[in-house]
Chains A and B, each alone.
Chain A
Amino acid sequence: MQKSMKCLVLMFLLLSLMISGCAKKPVATDEPLVEVEETTVVVDPEQPMAVVEEPIDEAALAREAAEAAEQRAKSGLERIHFEFDQYVLTDGAKQTLADNAALLKAAPNVEVQIEGHCDERGSDEYNLALGEKRALATKNYLVSLGVPASRMSTISYGEELPLDFAQTEEAWAKNRRAEFKIRR
Chain B
Amino acid sequence: MKTFQTFLILVSGLFFLSSQALAVKIEISAPGEQTIPLAIAPLQPLAAPVPEIAKEFQQVLENDLDLSGLFDPVDPAAFLDDARRLGLRSSEVDFAQWRLLGAESLIKGAYRVEGEKLTIELRLYDVITRRLLTGRRYVGKLKDVRRIAHGFADQVLLSTTGELGPFSSKIAFISKRSGRKELYLMDVDGHNPQRLTNHQSIVLNPDFSPTRKELIFTSYDKGNPDLYRKEIYTGRESRLSMKEGLNIGGRYSPDGRELALTLSKDGNSELYLLGTDGTIHKRLTNHYGIDVDPSWSPDGHKIAFVSDRRGNPNVFIIDVHNEEVRRLTFEGKYNATPAWSPKGDRIAFARLENNRFDIYTIRPDGSDERRLTFGAGSKEHPRWSSDGRFLVYSLEEQGKKSVHVMRADGTGNRKISTPGSDDSHPAWSGRW
How close is A142's CB to chain B, nearest CB, in angstroms? 15
A123: B residues at CB distance < 8 A: 292-293, 306, 313, 336-337, 350, 352, 357, 380
B262 at the binding interface (Cβ < 8 Å):
yes
Given contacts A121-B355, A122-B336, A125-B205, are A132 and B246 in contact (CB under 8 A)?
A: yes
B83 at the binding interface (Cβ < 8 Å):
no
Q: Which of A128, A133, A136, A165 contacts B225 (CB 8 A)?
A: A128
- For residue B174, which residue of chain A has the nearest CB? A124
Given contacts A129-B292, A133-B290, are A124 and B425 in contact (CB under 8 A)?
A: yes
CB pair A132 B336 closer than 8 Å: no
CB pair B181 A128 closer than 8 Å: no
B16 at the binding interface (Cβ < 8 Å):
no
B202 at the binding interface (Cβ < 8 Å):
yes
> In the complex, A157→B205 CA distance in Å?
14
Contacts between the two chains (Cβ within 8 Å), count? 79
> In the complex, A181→B392 CA distance in Å?
38
> In the complex, A125→B269 CA distance in Å?
10
Interface readout for B222-259 with A: 1 if CB under 8 Å, 0 if not? Answer: 01110000000000000000000110110000000000
CB pair A125 B248 closer than 8 Å: yes
> In the complex, A123→B425 CA distance in Å?
11
CB pair B290 A126 closer than 8 Å: yes
CB pair A130 B399 closer than 8 Å: no
CB pair B204 A126 closer than 8 Å: no
> In the complex, A121→B380 CA distance in Å?
11
B249: A residues at CB distance < 8 A: 125
CB pair A129 B290 closer than 8 Å: yes
Interface readout for A119-145 with B: 1 if CB under 8 Å, 0 if not? Answer: 001111110111011001000000000
CB pair A126 B246 closer than 8 Å: no
Interface readout for B187-219 with A: 1 if CB under 8 Å, 0 if not? Answer: 000000000000000101100000000000000
Interface readout for B387-401 with A: 1 if CB under 8 Å, 0 if not? Answer: 000000000001100
CB pair B293 A167 closer than 8 Å: no
CB pair B269 A129 closer than 8 Å: yes
B264: A residues at CB distance < 8 A: 129, 132
Of residues 94 to 130 in A, which have CB atoms within 8 Å of B's CB atoms?
Answer: 121-126, 128-130
CB pair A85 B224 closer than 8 Å: no
> In the complex, A50→B293 CA distance in Å?
76
B352: A residues at CB distance < 8 A: 121-123
Of residues 359 to 410 in B, which have CB atoms within 8 Å of A's CB atoms?
Answer: 380-381, 398-399
B312 at the binding interface (Cβ < 8 Å):
yes
B334 at the binding interface (Cβ < 8 Å):
yes
A157: B residues at CB distance < 8 A: 202, 220
> In the complex, A133→B398 CA distance in Å?
29
B267 at the binding interface (Cβ < 8 Å):
yes
> In the complex, A157→B306 CA distance in Å?
19
How close is B324's CB to chain A, nearest CB, in angstroms? 22
A175: B residues at CB distance < 8 A: none
Interface size class of A (residues with CB under 8 A): 20 to 34
A129: B residues at CB distance < 8 A: 246, 248, 262, 264, 269, 290-292
- Interface residues of B, count at CB 8 A: 37
Interface readout for A160-179 with B: 1 if CB under 8 Å, 0 if not? Answer: 10000101000000000000
> In the complex, A124→B380 CA distance in Å?
10
> In the complex, A105→B395 CA distance in Å?
46
> In the complex, A132→B336 CA distance in Å?
18
CB pair A122 B181 closer than 8 Å: no
- For residue B424, which residue of chain A has the nearest CB? A124
CB pair A130 B290 closer than 8 Å: yes
> In the complex, A155→B267 CA distance in Å?
11
Given contacts A130-B290, A132-B264, are A124 and B204 in contact (CB under 8 A)?
A: yes
A130: B residues at CB distance < 8 A: 290
> In the complex, A160→B267 CA distance in Å?
21
> In the complex, A176→B142 CA distance in Å?
52
B181: A residues at CB distance < 8 A: 160
CB pair B313 A85 closer than 8 Å: yes
- For residue A167, which residue of chain B has the nearest CB? B399
Q: Which of B202, B220, B269, B313 contacts A122 (CB 8 A)?
A: B313
CB pair B399 A126 closer than 8 Å: no
- For residue A154, which residue of chain B has the nearest CB? B245
CB pair B313 A165 closer than 8 Å: no
CB pair B292 A155 closer than 8 Å: no
Interface readout for B284-297 with A: 1 if CB under 8 Å, 0 if not? Answer: 00000011110000
> In the complex, A124→B218 CA distance in Å?
12
- For residue B398, which residue of chain A has the nearest CB? A167
What are 24 residue pairs bridging A and B, where the CB atoms are less than 8 Å apart in the complex? A121-B352, A121-B355, A122-B313, A122-B334, A122-B352, A123-B292, A124-B205, A124-B425, A125-B205, A125-B337, A126-B292, A126-B293, A126-B308, A129-B264, A129-B292, A136-B267, A156-B245, A156-B246, A160-B181, A160-B202, A160-B204, A165-B399, A167-B355, A167-B399
Residues of B in contact with A (beta carbons under 8 Å apart):
181, 202, 204-205, 220, 223-225, 245-246, 248-249, 262, 264, 267-269, 290-293, 306, 308, 312-313, 334, 336-337, 350, 352, 355, 357, 380-381, 398-399, 425
Residues of A in contact with B (beta carbons under 8 Å apart):
85, 121-126, 128-130, 132-133, 136, 154-157, 160, 165, 167
17 further interface pairs, Cβ-Cβ under 8 Å (given A123-B357, A155-B223): A121-B352, A123-B313, A124-B204, A124-B380, A124-B381, A125-B262, A125-B337, A126-B306, A126-B308, A126-B313, A128-B269, A130-B290, A132-B245, A132-B246, A132-B264, A155-B224, A156-B225
Nearest 9 A/B pairs, CB to CB: A123-B336, A129-B269, A125-B292, A129-B290, A125-B293, A125-B249, A129-B292, A123-B337, A160-B202
